[in-house]
Amino acid sequence: MSQEDQLYVKLDEKEGLKDELRNVQGTVANVNEALEVLRNVRTVREDAIQKVYENLAHLQDSLQNVEQEMPGVEKSEPVEGRVETPEIDGSVQELHSELETLQEELNQLD
């Protein structure tokens, strides 16, 4: 093999390595972006759980206040089914919308 042929082989190998490095860099960037989205999902999830706990504490306080204001009334049995509460439903709807948006962003990464 002549020196000129060896030179072309080395250049071709370097171009292949550059392509591979660009591919690896792209993959790393995609993984970083996916991790950022997952961090956001985790934050939204933690916020949602916190709001549920806060709403539950608020409901418990409200029930205690009602029971204190009506001492002669017997405690009622728990209500079966879903009870509509605008404040809680609004929070849940807002969190649901945020989760859907994050899910769409995750799907676009694929």
Task: Please state the domain extents for the chain.
Answer: 3-69+87-109
76 three-class SS: coil
pTM score, whole prediction: 0.48
Per-residue pLDDT of the chain (110 residues; tens, 9 = 90+): 666 655 555 656 777 788 888 999 999 999 999 999 889 889 988 888 888 898 889 988 888 888 888 876 666 566 566 556 566 667 777 777 888 888 787 777 76
Give the list of residues 6+ apart from residue 33 with CB closer than 8 angstroms, or none. Answer: 109
